[in-house]
Structure 1
């Protein structure tokens, strides 16, 4: 699945896009001024618990939050 495919599926399942997850992560204290403050495991656990995302989809959001990928990545 392409990165865009992951984002599309996440939006369909949660109604949230990349900017929504960035804002939620900031509100939870996982990021500060866009910089990630926690490890992948904490982000993955949050996304699985609160949004019922699978591991691969949660890793896609982690990649966004870490800055490895953005909403235009393939």
Structure 2
């Protein structure tokens, strides 16, 4: 599953866009120096996210929407269309341009 697919699935499961969850994480003081386990536990407790989905969001919280271009344009299940993740949600008008 690609990073973007994980983020899209999080939105479907929680009803919140990745950008919304990122804002909540920032309000809680989570950022690049926050322990991964603390963020994963919060996502499990408050949103019932499993570790794989939580880790995709942890990446965004700690590093922003950019990902390594290692899988961009490659083949296989882990490929992403872009090195920048789309965080504004599945229904956002710009999403159709991807």
Q: TM-score range by the shorter chain?
A: 0.7 to 0.9
Map of 2:8 onto structure 1: 8
Q: Which runs of 5+ in 1 are unaligned?
A: none
Pair 1:62-2:58 in alignment: yes
- Count of residue pairs brought into register by the alignment: 68
Runs of 4+ that moved beyond 3 A? none
Q: Which runs of 5+ in 2 are unaligned?
A: 68-83, 87-98
Hey, which of these two has a bigger chunk of strand by percent?
1
- TM-score of the two chains, using structure 2 as the length reference: 0.63
**Which structure is larger by alpha-carbon Rg, 1 or 2?**
2
Q: Aligned equivalents of 1:55 and 1:3: distance in 2?
A: 13
- TM-score of the two chains, using structure 1 as the length reference: 0.81
Hey, which of these two has a bigger chunk of helix by percent?
1
